[in-house]
Amino acid sequence: MSGGRTLIAPARPTGLPPGPGFNPWRLWAFVQRPVEEYARFRRRYGELVTLTTSDMRLVLVLTPDGAREVLTADPDDYAASHKRQFTGLAGSGSVWIMDGARHRRERQLLAPAFHLQRVREYGCVIQALTRQRIDRWQPGQEVTLYHAMLDVSREVILRVVFGVADGPLQAEGHRVMSELLHLVRPIFVHVAAFQSWWFPPWRRYARAKARFAAFTARCLAEHRARADAADDVVGLLLAARDEGGAPLTDTEISSELGTIAFSGHETTAVGLCWALYELARHPAILERLRAEIDALGPDPEPDVIARLPYLTAVCNETLRLHSILTEIARVTREPLQLGRYTLPPGTTVGVGICAIHHDPTIYPEPERFRPERFLERTYSPFEFLPFGGGHRRCLGAALSDYEMRIVLATIVAHWELAPARDDRDVRHNIGMGPKYGVPMRIVGRRAGPGGGMTPWRC
């Protein structure tokens, strides 16, 4: 077999691991409450479990060793999973659905636009846009952080990715991105049959996707009409060339921008919501973070902020405790040896990110928010994988991570917040998000070293 590996010493015949069988109610519980269901799977089935849906069987690994086996296998031994669903959501030119040489070419063309060094150039923009938004807050006001952070994240994407700063095109971008996101339903992702003309929610989403495509076409036309080279992501994608000198087509660029708009800005916003929620509920952790930020003085460089160790630990612990992406999957092209089982070609195999992030043998007291764990030890990319892993790891991970750190530091340095109610994780679309949107009360501007709203470098 090409790329075959052994996870544990073979001891049983080939076939698929055990699992609960086809049970629609149990599957829906898994979609909505993955932490609880993964814990149940681990107790009952061990390291591997097979879930049976109406149209496939999904083999999930629940340990870092299993994640290593899946994610380090030869990429050519895999095809993308859920192709029909993701084609409908993002378009036929999305990197989500590509395989083999085409997938490698697309990632090579896209990667420079999201390289960490490039992302660092956006630090001042991210900081300034955050300040513009939070300066509008008033003491005593109640805000729904989910919507507030989506506004910030959309603003960052419009400026950094699309190169849209102000005017009618910016307003249109906010409108179409918001509409596209809020018309997605989890059932679109998990049941391809609902992506059909007879299902009214899908028809509404399809119309919104057409409006987003028209917006991206206007952005491309505006970039081409500019005399100077743009340093935003759209400009970089228009200038990108593969080894043969061929550019990305407009369809490919539009699909990739749709992928970013669909997945990129909500995940960052959700991470920020949960970080602010947990900090407000853990005053000692908040004070330690503020002390680290205040020590930089009143005018710190964004890149210096982003490298703060405790800030990094807070962000990592947030993404561990509130896993937004709960699993990732591929489809085998060749037989794949996992433990005692040889998975046949055509099997969908996945990594239970949520299961690994809540494994008490890796993260003691996994339900506790404790950033210090990320200072006490280093976790491998198979133990901590909020952005997936392997050859399909999220291309926008560096931008999302960097943005989260800058925005979070800007808010906690300048405002006192208090939770207006308890909240919990529920399924939003592909990933998880807060059920109530994390309502927060704005207590007031923070007094002290970071609280005077003195303009920072940006």
Residue 452 lies in a domain: no
Q: What is the pLDDT of residue 458?
A: 61
pLDDT tens, residue by residue, 66-103: 999 999 999 999 999 988 888 888 888 888 888 888 88
Which stretches of 78-190 are assigned E, i.e. beta strand?
Answer: 78-80, 142-144
pLDDT tens, residue by residue, 357-398: 999 999 999 999 999 999 999 999 999 999 999 999 988 899
Residue 62 lies in a domain: yes
What's the chain's average pLDDT?
A: 89
Collect all residues with Cβ–Cβ distance below 8 Å to 363 and sequence separation of at least 6: 320, 357, 373
Burial status of residue 9 (CB atoms within 10 A of its CB: 0-12, 13-18, 19 or more): exposed
Look up tokens 């916003």; give the residue. Answer: 269
Which is more confidently placed, 319 or 229? 319
Q: What is the mean pLDDT of residues 260-285?
A: 92
How many other C-beta atoms are found inside a 10 Å radius of the C-beta of residue 251?
Answer: 12
Domain range for 344: 24-445
Written as six digits, the tokens of 235 are: 């400009």
pLDDT tens, residue by residue, 153-178: 999 999 999 988 888 899 999 999 99
DSSP 3-state of 61: strand
pTM: 0.92
Collect all residues with Cβ–Cβ distance below 8 Å to 408 and sequence separation of at least 6: 272, 275, 276, 311, 314, 315
Residue 88 lies in a domain: yes
Q: What is the pLDDT of residue 2?
A: 38
Q: What is the pLDDT of residue 75?
A: 92
Which is more confidently placed, 241 or 54? 241
| Lowest mean pLDDT, pick from 3-7, 87-91, 306-310, 332-336 | 3-7
Distance CA 181, CA 175 (A): 10
Task: Quote the number of domains for the chain.
Answer: 1
**Sign of the Cα pseudo-torsion (442, 444, 445, 446, in order):** negative
Q: How confident is the model at residue 6 (pLDDT cuts 50, 70, 90)?
A: very low
Residue 455 lies in a domain: no
Written as six digits, the tokens of 192 are: 């391809």
**Sign of the Cα pseudo-torsion (50, 53, 58, 63, in order):** negative
Residue 17 lies in a domain: no
Distance CA 267, CA 216 (A): 21
Q: How confident is the model at residue 10 (pLDDT cuts 50, 70, 90)?
A: very low
Q: What is the mean pLDDT of residues 34-55?
A: 93
Which stretches of 288-429 are assigned E, i.e. beta strand?
Answer: 328-332, 336-338, 341-343, 348-351, 415-419, 425-427
pLDDT of 217 over the 60 cut: yes
Residue 6 lies in a domain: no
Distance CA 272, CA 401 (A): 10
Q: What is the pLDDT of residue 1?
A: 36
Residue 3 lies in a domain: no
How crowded is the C-beta side of 108, counted as CA atoms within 13 Å?
Answer: 13
**Sign of the Cα pseudo-torsion (399, 405, 409, 415, in order):** positive
Q: How confident is the model at residue 185 (pLDDT cuts 50, 70, 90)?
A: confident
pLDDT of 305 over the 50 cut: yes
Residue 7 lies in a domain: no
CATH number at residue 35: 1.10.630.10
